[in-house]
Amino acid sequence: SQLDKKELLEIDLEKLSLTDIINEIMDQLSVTKSSTFEDLLQGKRDRRRIIYTFLAILELIKLRMIKAYQTSIFGVIRIFPAVES
């Protein structure tokens, strides 16, 4: 059949959950005590991962679980736990 002759492209879309990313951020901060937005992306720079990570940061700030600082426009965003453990 024609299908046998064509190469098939398999796309593996990573299943993203805001809850999973929030847990990843909190796990990383429990070890490192601070992180940058870039570090939180863990080398995964696809649009969905960037957006979900940013939304997770906003949610954690709203819940007062983390603090985020950016000292200049377009500067590094540094994230810390709201309370040191």
Instruction: Evaluate the CA torsion angle 40, 46, 47, 49 in order and state its sign.
Output: negative
CB burial class (10 A; 0-12, 13-18, 19+) of residue 65?
Answer: middle
**pTM for this one?**
0.77
Residue 70: what are its φ and ψ, rounded to 5°? Answer: -140, 115
For the chain, 85 residues long, give each residue's pLDDT as a single digit of tens: 455 555 555 555 567 889 999 999 999 999 999 999 999 997 887 888 999 999 999 999 999 999 999 999 999 999 999 985 4
Q: What pLDDT is attached to residue 12?
A: 55
Q: How far, in Å, are 27, 33, 47, 64, 68 from residue 82 at the CA level?
A: 14, 10, 27, 6, 9
Identify the structural domains of the chain with CATH numbers, from first to last. Answer: 16-81 (1.10.10.580)
Distance CA 82, CA 62 (A): 11
Instruction: Return the pLDDT at 2.
Output: 54
Which phi and psi (to 5°) does residue 81 adopt?
A: -65, 145
